[in-house]
Amino acid sequence: MNPPETWEMIAIGAIALVVIFLFRPGLKEAFKRSKEAENKDWSGVLLPIGLVVLFIIVLISLV
């Protein structure tokens, strides 16, 4: 596979900037709400991550 041309790299960069500008207001608001939260529910994040890590370990052990 050939490396991307210069115009393709510029297009990818432009698309990345557009995506950043589109999601920026939502991300800013989400970070603001997370700082204001009193009870941080880490189990809702850690449980799925732990399950994924366990699943990967099982898949590796089966090979």
pLDDT tens for each residue of 2-48: 888 999 999 999 999 999 889 888 888 888 887 776 666 777 888 89
pLDDT at residue 39 in the model: 66
Task: Note whether 26 and 34 are within 8 A (CB).
Answer: no
Tell me 37's DSSP state: -
> What's the average model confidence in pLDDT over 45-52?
91
Give residue limits of the domains in the chain. 1-36
